[in-house]
A and B are shown apart, each in its own frame.
Chain A
Amino acid sequence: MRTRVTGWCFVIAAVVLICLFYFYPMIQAFNLSLKSGVGTNLQYVGFENYKRLFTDSNFITAVTNTFIYLIVQVPIMIILALLLSVMLNSDKLRLKGLFRTAIFLPCVTSLVAYSVIFKYLFANDGLVNLLLLRLSIIDRPIGWITDPFWAKVTIILAITWRWTGYNMIFYLSALQNIDRSIYEAATIDGASAFGKFTKITVPLLKPIILFTSIMSTIGTLQLFDEVMNITKGGPGNATMSISQYIYNLSFKYTPDFGYAATVSYAIVVLIVIFSYMQFKVAGDR
């Protein structure tokens, strides 16, 4: 009995704080999502806010943008990280440490700092355009920040730059735990490098690939710092993410906390759906 009480004493602070700053706000947010009005002047409107989501063109744009980032960026990054980790794991490679450190380095920068650097690099008169022009790859500057299409490309390039090394480290540590004799046996059986990659490496890394893709999906659904600092969501709303839309609804436009809370719940629902789907897909075999 005494140890039981002692045990609860150890965990109580964390339990109270997490309830107070995670679960209680979620209940509050739900309550809020049933109300509408400006600032603190709120009235109950039932599920009106939820209906509004489906006709709100800004919300639809934000969701579409976020999906584009998700569908294009996450697979590119994961495949790139896998390739890099397999290369870095090969025995004969020299300068291994140097390559690994260099590719991992972007992870030490803060999201805001690297976003500002990318914004300058990709400005109309920025270094990227300057170099491309000088090398005659393009004959007029690309609107990396100002064109609706290229602005999305810039955001995707930026996130990929920042997070590929991070994912790579996960795969690298998992690869080091794979028994080398499996590969040797496959080589004797005449398997090609590509065959070994798809038949041995990928299946053995499946749990960690699942973990990183869920983490990346959750991260992308929450995307904020980059769009805020590289494009401000523009041009127009071409790069606006869902998180940024919630921020705008609460702190930039005339505050509509009720509707902002409704959009928040949309993200939670999306995260749950996506995580479930990825579990299903990976759990097939």
Chain B
Amino acid sequence: MIARRVFMYLFLGVTAFVSIFPFLWMVVSSTNPSVEVTKGRLMPGTHLFVNLSNLVEQIDLVRALANSLVIALITTGLALLIGSLAGYGFEIYRSRAKDAVFNILLLSMMIPFAALMVPLYRMFAWLSGKMPVIGIDTKAAVILPTMATAFLIFFFRQNTKMFEREMIEAGRIDGLGELGIFLRIYVPTMRTTYAAAAIITFMSSWNNYMWPLIVLQSDAKKTIPLLISNLGSSYSPDYGMIMTAIVIATLPTALVFFLMQKHFVAGMLGSVK
């Protein structure tokens, strides 16, 4: 019995340690010069500010952060609006035809992005000729294909099942229009659902790599994952500096996680409720 408990703590302890170790190493390395990192130093050093100033001088991290932030915020705003409108519409104004459409939309979750990248790239390359503002190498091209996802529609629809219909009737009696009911009653009542949806959408947009890699070409447009990827493949890497960059890139999502852990988990689990 005791042996089993010891084993359990040992197993959990080792797994927990292995899980956090790369983070610790990343943070510690960001305070050390490159030479010390390669020697395997595991103690915090005093090189953080040197790494930071090297980073600011050599790499346009601020611009990449700004690009990522703008893209992630706009994507999240639009995706939440479109997804919640649809989830609400499919559930509240339920009909056989709409259910059929909904089921077809769900099929899009089975389509891997790798299968879409070639035709999407060609679509945006074609658009570049007609409307350069939404063509290749624009933020709009990154945002557009990720604005509507079957996952978010599904997520909002599932959560709308818990929304009390009486509130809609009450709204109608108070003379609110259908859109008014959605905006004035549904949106405020479903705050936690929106919070969870916002977190997952923001995270996936902030971390998105493949599509921006294809569609963004100039250095000025690069997002954080593209920048980190470039740094990671540099020929003679300055480890201390690169680790500092990764720490900064990870900070926003880590903050979101620690501040809103409950919503975060709710968002993840939302897909199987």
Question: Which residue of B has the minimal Cβ distance to A258?
Answer: B118
Mask, A263-283, CB within 8 Å of B = 1, is 011011001100100000000
B210 adjacent to chain A (CB < 8 Å): yes
A74 adjacent to chain B (CB < 8 Å): no
Contact yes or no, B12 A22, CB < 8 A: no
Contact yes or no, B253 A108, CB < 8 A: yes
Which single member of A99, A116, A161, A265 contacts B12 (CB below 8 Å)? A99
Identify whether the interface residues of A are mostly helix, strand, loop, or mixed.
Answer: helix
Using A11-B89, A26-B111, A161-B19 as known contacts, say yes or no to A87 and B118 having CB atoms under 8 A apart.
Answer: no
Shortest CB-to-CB span from A241 to chain B, Å, is 9
Identify whether the interface residues of B are mostly helix, strand, loop, or mixed.
Answer: helix
B242 adjacent to chain A (CB < 8 Å): yes
Contact yes or no, B116 A14, CB < 8 A: no
* Interface hub of B12, B114, B272 (most chain A Cβ within 10 A): B114
* Interface hub of B89, B145, B149, B231 (most chain A Cβ within 10 A): B89
Question: Which residue of A has the minimal Cβ distance to B178?
Answer: A6
B147 adjacent to chain A (CB < 8 Å): yes
Point out the residues of chain A lying under 8 angstroms from B231, CB to CB: 116
Contact yes or no, A250 B117, CB < 8 A: yes
Which single member of A13, A102, A116, A164 contacts B85 (CB below 8 Å)? A13
B153 adjacent to chain A (CB < 8 Å): yes
Contact yes or no, A17 B147, CB < 8 A: yes
Point out the residues of chain A lying under 8 angstroms from B17, CB to CB: 102
Q: Measured between alpha carbons, how far is A221 from B112 in the docked complex, in Å?
A: 8
Point out the residues of chain B lying under 8 angstroms from A161, CB to CB: 18-19, 22
> What total count of A-B pairs have CB within 8 Å?
244
Contact yes or no, B116 A243, CB < 8 A: no
Contact yes or no, A112 B20, CB < 8 A: no
Using A15-B105, A25-B123, A117-B22 as known contacts, say yes or no to A243 and B88 having CB atoms under 8 A apart.
Answer: no
Contact yes or no, A106 B19, CB < 8 A: yes
Using A21-B144, A110-B207 as known contacts, say yes or no to A117 and B95 having CB atoms under 8 A apart.
Answer: no
Point out the residues of chain B lying under 8 angstroms from A131, CB to CB: 40
Q: Count residues of B near A (Cβ-Cβ below 8 Å).
A: 84
Within 8 A of A (CB), among B69-128: 82-83, 85-86, 88-90, 92-95, 98, 101, 105, 108, 110-123
Point out the residues of chain B lying under 8 angstroms from A250, CB to CB: 117-118, 121
Question: Which residue of A has the minimal Cβ distance to B210?
Answer: A224
Q: Measured between alpha carbons, how far is A208 from B131 in the docked complex, in Å?
A: 45
Mask, A3-27, CB within 8 Å of B = 1, is 1101111110111011001111110
Question: Which residue of A has the minimal Cβ distance to B237?
Answer: A120
Q: Measured between alpha carbons, how far is A99 from B20 in the docked complex, in Å?
A: 10
Mask, A130-148, CB within 8 Å of B = 1, is 1100000000000000000
A103 adjacent to chain B (CB < 8 Å): yes
Using A22-B116, A250-B118 as known contacts, say yes or no to A130 and B40 having CB atoms under 8 A apart.
Answer: yes
Point out the residues of chain B lying under 8 angstroms from A22, CB to CB: 108, 111, 116
Contact yes or no, B92 A7, CB < 8 A: yes
Which single member of A14, A117, A225 contacts B86 (CB below 8 Å)? A14
Contact yes or no, A218 B110, CB < 8 A: yes
Shortest CB-to-CB span from B171 to chain A, Å, is 13
Mask, A68-90, CB within 8 Å of B = 1, is 00000000000010011001101
Question: Which residue of B has the minimal Cβ distance to A87?
Answer: B8
Using A116-B228, A268-B115 as known contacts, say yes or no to A165 and B19 having CB atoms under 8 A apart.
Answer: yes
Contact yes or no, A247 B269, CB < 8 A: no
Q: Measured between alpha carbons, how far is A98 from B12 in the docked complex, in Å?
A: 10
A159 adjacent to chain B (CB < 8 Å): no
Using A166-B268, A208-B272, A264-B114 as known contacts, say yes or no to A257 and B19 having CB atoms under 8 A apart.
Answer: no
Point out the residues of chain A lying under 8 angstroms from B265, CB to CB: 169, 173
Point out the residues of chain B lying under 8 angstroms from A166, CB to CB: 268
Using A14-B105, A108-B257 as known contacts, say yes or no to A170 and B272 having CB atoms under 8 A apart.
Answer: yes
Q: Measured between alpha carbons, how far is A143 from B169 in the docked complex, in Å?
A: 67
Q: Measured between alpha carbons, how far is A250 from B114 in the docked complex, in Å?
A: 11
Question: Which residue of A has the minimal Cβ distance to B18?
Answer: A161
Contact yes or no, A15 B229, CB < 8 A: no
Q: Measured between alpha carbons, how far is A228 from B233 in the docked complex, in Å?
A: 10
Which single member of A83, A193, A211, A271 contacts B272 (CB below 8 Å)? A211
Contact yes or no, B19 A103, CB < 8 A: yes
A238 adjacent to chain B (CB < 8 Å): no
Q: A110-B228, A261-B118 are in contact. List 16 more A-B contacts (CB 8 A).
A: A4-B93, A6-B93, A26-B115, A29-B116, A80-B15, A93-B12, A103-B16, A104-B19, A111-B207, A117-B22, A161-B22, A164-B15, A165-B19, A225-B210, A257-B122, A272-B110
Some 11 contacts from A to B, beta carbons below 8 A apart, are A17-B148, A26-B119, A28-B119, A32-B122, A84-B15, A109-B250, A110-B253, A116-B232, A222-B114, A228-B229, A271-B112
Q: What is the interface of chain B, defined by CB distance below 8 A to chain A?
A: 4-5, 8, 11-13, 15-20, 22-23, 25-26, 38, 40, 82-83, 85-86, 88-90, 92-95, 98, 101, 105, 108, 110-123, 144-145, 147-150, 153, 178, 182, 203, 206-207, 209-210, 214, 224-225, 228-229, 231-233, 237, 239, 242, 246, 249-250, 253-254, 256-257, 261, 265, 268-269, 272
